[in-house]
Chains A and B, each alone.
Chain A
Amino acid sequence: MFDNVFKSLKAIKDSFTADAIRRAEKRATAAAADDALPAGDGVFKPQRISRLIDIVQPATLAGPTPEEICGIAPKMPKQEIRQRLALLYRRYNRAASSLDPKLRHEAERMLDAIVTVRENVFGPI
């Protein structure tokens, strides 16, 4: 799980001091133990990366629902859901054109989940 975190930080490592990176990795390692779903508020927390990848590649047979993948809580207000989906759509639509093939693949799965939630909550177009 942590490989993904550290891999994504590799490029950053090249640019910044070892101390700063050690601090970031320490935070990432500690945070990766946290089971909270990605908040998606734009605040940088490296553990999100591993959480998202874990979620879209579920270990169990049933797997998470599209709502869980998108971090939609059962009683979340519709306006909040709309904002959350807009944020995720912007992020993953962009990621679908990433130079990183893994991220492109992940983006397609996420876009599917985002659209499913949108249709579940707001109805089909």
Chain B
Amino acid sequence: MADFVGIDLGTTLSGLAYLRPDGQPEIVPNGDGERLTPSVVYFDQHEEITLVGSAARDGGDPERTVYQIKRHMDDPDHYVEVDGRRWTPAEISALILSKLKRDCSRLIGDITEAVITVPANFNELARKSTIAAAEMAEIKVSRLVNEPTAAAVYYAHTQDVNGRILVFDLGGGTLDVTILEVQNEEIQILTSEGARHLGGSNIDEMLLELYADQYRQQVNADLFNDERQRRRALQAAEDAKKMLSKLQRYTDTIGNDINGIARIELHREAFEKAVSKLLTRSIMLVEQALNGVSLKPTDINHVVLVGGSTRIPKVKTALEKFFGKQPKSCSNVDEAVALGAAVFAQRASHVREVCNQSYGTLAMLVNASTGEEAVRNSIVIAKNTPIPCSKTQVYMTSEANERFIEVDITQGEDDDPRFVDVIGKITLEVPPDRPAGCEVAVTYSYDENQRVRALVVDKQSGRSQEVAVSYRGAGILSEEELLKRGRALRQLRIE
């Protein structure tokens, strides 16, 4: 049995690595002989079998195939319906994890516990869903670790570097930027910023538009009319992206049975122009990360590239221009996260992470100079606070004779309540006949898995209530359902 296992549960590809007895991490291939498994699930119509991986991606009916479920892990209302059965994002992810566990166990022994990576900007719900997925797959999550942190751990492990490192992780679905400080064995994360829907698959979609435009010009018809045709064209666009990352020009033929075939010619210049907005967004995220910890580009000693899309030359040149130094690739940009997770499983005590989001409560605040009252998001735990941590803020009741104190738990650093999520609520009953101005202490605790708990204490009466955040929605399973579905999932034939 492997003691230290790391899993990269990716948007487009997933991988499992373990730490060999000599302390070096190694990727464990799946049952199909592949080092990375496409994060795609196919539900067959005729046989009681669920396909995960390349077979699901390449051969299945798109209507019965689930792609990129990770993008929906933070959506409480998302579910996939197949043959009248509803699958939550956590369940689909559990199928992918089950495939990895079953296949890899054959090579390295039983896998019962693992570090699982998540994007730095994954919110509370998405983290909770990831843990639920692992539980259904019978994997105990020893820690959730942010993907760029795992990649940085791997980079530090293999390159023996010291100083401030910025990890630019352009994955299949998201971009994460993390700044950290490495001093010998010790790693201190300073900040992480993430951008949703900014990854390789967004670049593929841009290229698909170029394909569709050229096809329309030549054939005077649409390149695809259904999901199956669109998926094929998207795969061609992905291949084109890889080729244009190496060549200046790429030609391809593409078409469909109804409208015929067209010859597509793409130049790197046009490709770079098509993705320029995504690159601008990427650089703005880098600026945001630097601003968040009051650093300048020149304060960064190493810029490290992670994720398949960092192979695009324009990504490298844009970062080189911004930082004034050449970024370095994490030797294997596709596998670095899984490998780093395996290293992290052993060296977690040497890595100090920070809170990725601010947590607070909605409070009526009074402007001392103008007297104006306004409802604001009052932060209790600020983003970038080292974790685990616990912070308390004391508030006062505004009215006399209040019987219930209600505290909203917010996620997000914006002052404006409109731009934060209310992720929980605590209602505390207090004794009658009290004046205004009674003190209420709100304490938030933040654990190493970036999960939050809240405690509200009425100081006068001593009454208190503590909750972990829970969510409701069509895409959320209750604890009872989770156990039941986990049992059912383990009976499935997954190939």
**Does B376 contact A108, Cβ atoms closer than 8 Å?**
no
Within 8 Å of chain A (Cβ to Cβ): is B288? yes
Within 8 Å of chain B (Cβ to Cβ): is A111? yes
Instruction: Tell me, yes or no, whether B468 is within 8 Å of chain A by CB.
Output: no
Q: How far is the CA of A11 from the CA of B422 in the complex (A)?
A: 8
Indicate whether B123 reaches chain A with its CB closer than 8 angstroms: yes
A6 within 8 A of B: no
Q: A8-B417, A93-B288 are in contact. Are A16 and B364 (CB under 8 A)?
A: yes
Taking a contact as CB atoms closer than 8 A, the residue among B74, B195, B288, B375 that contacts A16 in the complex is: B375
0/1 interface trace, chain A 11-38, chain B, CB 8 Å (1 if under): 1101111011001100000000000000
Chain A: CB-nearest residue to B123:
A97
A56 at the interface (CB under 8 A from B): no
Closest to B273 in A: A124
Q: Mark B355-378, 1 if CB is under 8 A from A, else 0.
A: 000000010100000000111100
B276 at the interface (CB under 8 A from A): yes
A-chain residues with CB within 8 Å of residue B288 when the two chains form the complex: 86, 89-90, 93
**A111: chain B residues within 8 A (beta carbon):** 281
Select B416's contact among A11, A42, A85, beta carbons within 8 Å: A42
Closest CB in chain A relative to B312 CB, distance in Å: 12
Chain A stretch 32-57: residues in CB contact (< 8 A) with chain B: 42-46, 48-49
In the complex, whether B479 has a CB less than 8 A from a CB of chain A is: no
Chain B residues contacting A97 (CB-CB under 8 Å) are 74, 121, 123, 194, 196
Checking A14, A49, A89 against B425 with a beta-carbon cut-off of 8 angstroms, the contacting residue is A14
Task: Confirm or deny: B181 has a beta carbon within 8 angstroms of a beta carbon on chain A.
Answer: no
Do residues A93 and B279 form an inter-chain contact, with CB atoms below 8 A? no
Q: Does A69 contact B (CB under 8 A)?
A: no
Q: Is the CB of B197 within 8 A of A108?
A: yes
CB of A24, distance to nearest CB on chain B (Å): 6
- With A16-B364, A89-B288 as known contacts, state yes or no: A125 contacts B418, CB within 8 Å: no
Q: Is B110 an interface residue (CB 8 A)?
A: no
CB distance from B310 to the nearest CB of A (A): 15
CB distance from B130 to the nearest CB of A (A): 15
B125 at the interface (CB under 8 A from A): yes
Main secondary structure of the interface of A (DSSP, over half): helix
Beta-carbon nearest neighbor of B415 in chain A = A42
- Give bound CA distance, A9 to B74, whole Å: 23
Q: B374's contact among A44, A98, A118, by CB below 8 Å, is which?
A: A44
A95-B419 in contact given A20-B364, A86-B291 (Cβ < 8 Å): yes
* Chain A nearest Cβ from B446, distance in angstroms: 18
Known contacts A14-B406, A44-B376, A111-B281; decide if A98 and B421 are in contact (CB<8 Å): yes
CB-based contact A94/B419 at 8 Å: yes
Report chain B residues within 8 Å CB of A98. Answer: 412, 419, 421
Q: What is the interface residue range for chain A against chain B?
A: 35 or more
Select A125's contact among B77, B283, B374, beta carbons within 8 Å: B283
Query: Is residue B185 contacting chain A, with contact meaning CB distance below 8 A?
Result: no
Contact in complex: A23, B277 (CB < 8 Å): no
Given the interface pairs A24-B374, A44-B374, A97-B196, the reply to whether A11 lies near B408 with Cβ below 8 Å is yes
**Is the beta-carbon distance between A96 and B195 smaller than 8 angstroms?**
yes
B285 adjacent to A15 (CB under 8 Å): no
Contacts of B412 in A (CB 8 A): 94, 98
Q: Provided the pairs A86-B291, A96-B197, A99-B125 are in contact, do residues A125 and B276 lie with their beta carbons within 8 angstroms?
A: yes
Q: Which of B193, B364, B402: most chain A Cβ within 10 A? A: B364
Least Cβ distance of B472 to chain A in Å? 11
Does B76 have its Cβ within 8 Å of any Cβ on chain A? yes
Cα distance A43–B193 when bound, in Å? 24
Q: Which of B123, B321, B402, B417 contacts A44 (CB 8 A)?
A: B417
Q: Which 8 residue pairs spanning A and B have beta carbons closest together? A: A44-B374, A17-B399, A125-B279, A99-B421, A96-B196, A125-B318, A15-B406, A12-B375
Q: Which residues of A contact B (CB under 8 A)?
A: 8-9, 11-12, 14-17, 19-20, 23-24, 42-46, 48-49, 85-86, 89-91, 93-101, 103, 108, 111-112, 114-116, 118-119, 124-125
10 contacts between A and B (CB under 8 A): A17-B399, A17-B402, A44-B375, A85-B284, A89-B285, A93-B285, A94-B413, A94-B419, A97-B194, A125-B279
- Contacts A99-B75, A99-B423 known; list 19 others, CB within 8 Å: A8-B418, A12-B417, A15-B362, A17-B399, A20-B373, A24-B373, A44-B375, A45-B374, A48-B416, A94-B419, A96-B196, A97-B196, A98-B412, A99-B76, A99-B123, A115-B281, A119-B280, A124-B276, A125-B318
